[in-house]
């Protein structure tokens, strides 16, 4: 792409001592926009007239727009008309369809998870069902998004599915009406200890605050909870207003939660809690991780800055930018970054350089020398740049071992599909335990499927060896390379024994999901949740909880 040449025009008025540059600057700005639009328009027209092959104009323009926006920040994106449903789902959690997740398996699409109580589950669809046809259209070879579009439709219209199911000799044909699907942002809530409630909030859609309030009120009324663990791990954010409302459940009316500041003054706004608090005395612990972003960071950051609760987990994602959705014609929209946000201490938690992140998108370590100090309401020191650092840091010690490679090849999923055929019922999520016989059946299944894998270390070894050959070092280091290769080659039998606990946990989660759906999966995972155990320990030891927040003159149980 040709660089735009900036032309500075200096006007010297010899007969006057004053020079007005304002109008000239505005004119230059308008000229540059018009000039580049004209260039783009001319290039497209010339290609249309003279290019040797037929052009796909929509694809070309979309690619051009995407490449242009890619140079800005990761969150400014173009959403064409075809993605309008996705936009609605992002903000409301609502769509029209069957209520199930699907995934690609080889050249086929299968049901990966029907939502409990939704049309797919009520009409007998199961995880593992292979979709052959949707309304008479063969779907083999189609992408997940293409099949998803076929499954969606106007509420009340009938969908006809043709499926292959494990254990059935002939394809099944199932018909039922599509419905309006509302995904509850609160995936699960329940009492996890004496007078301690737990809520898992998955997203900040337009019902997030209401559903959270309903969940906590239910536990207050039925179980008289006095403390709450709010889990926003893996919550990528959503609507600022919902985040502000949630903070308002615990802080006095009019408390400043977040301020946005942008180039355009219309983006400047201060958000304050809109109502009197509903749970003003409730002890609060928030669970976060490096996938907690945006609105999750507004809630956790403001709760931390206001010393209203303790944050437990990993450093959060580090997204301190605000986006607005703007219509741009022909059904398309531009999700554009318009401002940075600042939480009550005055800090912005945006990662200093969002172009260099970990593989999962989260921010890496930022040295204190590159950040600034701020103070919470009670005088605790916090820092800007690179997310929210929890008051109690935990670490995910899981490694990229054989358990991951089994998961990546969908073998837990496939075994669970067969498991349900011979196990009509299993114990509840709070009591279920994978038997030794079940674990052996799974390892036999891995052998039957000729499971093997190549570690990332092996791949790097091959690159190292190939480079050594290029440089003529392979012969002189032959023994060393042979010894290293022997150590790096996976011993599958040994690895299964060494990682039995993690393999059993992942397999159990997949099995439980078939009987008790998402809520059962969450209930089971909470049994061994290390972050949750830290949270409960803090809540039970009131002295530690108050000590972190610098709360004085409180009588607590030690």
Residues tagged active-site: 294, 305, 319
Q: Nearest 5 degrees, angle CA 247-CA 253-CA 257?
A: 40
3-state SS of 8-60 is CCCCCCCCCCCCCCHHHHHHHHHHHHHHHHHHHHHHHHHHHHHCCCCCCHHHH
Which of the 8 DSSP states describes residue 233? T
Residue 191: both structure tokens together: 């009492």
How far, CA to CA in Å, does 174 sit from each of 121, 133, 134, 152, 158?
A: 12, 11, 10, 16, 10
Q: Which residue blocks in 75-192 are alpha helix, DSSP H?
A: 84-92, 119-122, 144-151
Residue pair 268/260 in contact (Cβ under 8 Å)? The answer is yes
List strand residue ranges (DSSP E) for 70-170, in order.
77-79, 94-97, 100-105, 108-114, 130-134, 137-138, 158-164
Question: Cα 216 vs. chain centroid, distance in angstroms?
Answer: 24
Q: Return d(Cα 43, Cα 140) in angstroms, integer.
A: 39
| CB-CB neighbours of 522 under 10 Å | 22
How far, CA to CA in Å, does 30 sit from each of 25, 82, 286, 337?
A: 9, 31, 48, 21
Q: Which residue's structure tokens are 């669809």? A: 125
Q: Helix, strand or coil for residue 259? A: strand
Q: Find all residues with CB under 8 Å of 314, minimum gap 6, and list them.
A: 288, 289, 290, 390, 393, 394, 395, 396
Q: Return d(Cα 255, Cα 263) in angstroms, integer.
A: 25
- DSSP lists the bridge partners of residue 104 as 109
How far, CA to CA in Å, does 537 sit from each of 311, 392, 555, 556?
A: 13, 11, 17, 13
Q: Nearest 5 degrees, angle CA 230-CA 233-CA 237?
A: 95
Farthest-apart Cα atoms in the chain, separation: 98
């Amino acid at each position: 792409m040709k660089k735009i040449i900036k032309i500075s025009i200096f006007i010297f008025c010899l007969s006057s001592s004053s020079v007005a540059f304002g109008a000239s600057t505005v004119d230059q700005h308008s000229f540059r926009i018009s000039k580049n639009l004209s260039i783009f328009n001319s290039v497209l027209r010339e290609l249309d007239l003279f290019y040797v092959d037929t052009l796909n104009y929509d694809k070309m323009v979309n690619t051009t727009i995407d490449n242009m926006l890619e140079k800005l920040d990761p969150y400014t994106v173009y959403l064409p008309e075809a993605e309008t449903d996705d936009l609605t789902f992002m903000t409301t959690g609502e769509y029209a369809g069957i209520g199930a997740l699907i995934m690609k398996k080889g050249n086929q699409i299968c049901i990966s998870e029907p939502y409990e109580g939704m049309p797919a589950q009520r009409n007998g669809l199961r995880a593992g069902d292979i979709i052959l046809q949707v309304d008479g259209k063969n779907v083999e070879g189609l992408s997940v998004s293409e099949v998803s579009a076929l499954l969606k439709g106007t509420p009340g219209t009938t969908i006809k599915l043709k499926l292959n199911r494990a254990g059935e000799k002939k394809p099944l044909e199932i018909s039922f009406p599509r419905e309006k699907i509302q995904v509850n942002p609160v995936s699960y809530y329940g009492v996890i200890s004496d007078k301690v409630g737990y809520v898992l909030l998955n997203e900040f859609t337009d019902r997030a605050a209401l559903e959270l309030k309903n969940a906590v009120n239910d536990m207050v009324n039925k179980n008289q909870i006095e403390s709450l663990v709010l889990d926003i791990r893996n919550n990528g954010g959503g609507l600022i207003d919902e985040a502000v409302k949630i903070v308002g459940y615990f802080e006095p009316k009019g408390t400043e939660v977040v301020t946005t500041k942008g180039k355009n003054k219309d983006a400047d706004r201060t958000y304050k809690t809109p109502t009197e608090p509903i749970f003003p005395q409730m002890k609060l612990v928030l669970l976060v991780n490096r996938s907690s972003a945006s609105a999750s960071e507004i809630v956790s950051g403001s709760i931390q800055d206001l010393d209203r609760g303790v944050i437990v987990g990993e450093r959060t994602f580090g997204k301190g930018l605000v986006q607005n959705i703007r219509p741009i014609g022909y059904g398309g929209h531009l999700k554009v970054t318009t401002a940075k946000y600042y939480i009550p201490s005055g800090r912005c938690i945006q990662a200093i350089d969002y172009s260099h992140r970990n593989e999962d998108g989260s921010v890496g370590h930022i040295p204190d020398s590159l950040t600034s100090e701020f103070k919470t309401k009670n005088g605790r020191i916090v820092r800007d740049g690179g997310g929210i650092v929890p008051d109690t840091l935990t670490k995910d010690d899981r490694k990229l071992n054989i358990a991951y490679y089994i998961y990546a090849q969908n073998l837990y999923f496939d075994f669970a599909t067969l498991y349900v055929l011979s196990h009509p019922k299993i114990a509840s999520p709070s009591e279920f335990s994978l038997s030794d016989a079940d674990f052996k059946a799974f390892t036999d299944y891995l052998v039957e499927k000729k499971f093997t894998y190549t570690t990332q270390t092996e791949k790097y070894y091959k690159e190292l060896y190939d480079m050594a050959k290029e440089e003529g070092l392979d012969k002189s280091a032959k023994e060393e390379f042979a010894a290293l290769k022997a150590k790096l080659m996976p011993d599958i039998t040994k690895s299964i024994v060494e990682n039995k606990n993690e393999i059993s946990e992942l397999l159990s989660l997949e099995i439980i999901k078939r009987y008790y759906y998402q809520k059962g999966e969450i209930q089971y995972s909470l049994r061994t949740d290390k972050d949750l155990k830290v949270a409960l320990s803090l809540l039970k030891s009131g002295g530690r909880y108050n000590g972190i927040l610098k709360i004085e003159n409180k009588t607590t149980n030690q």
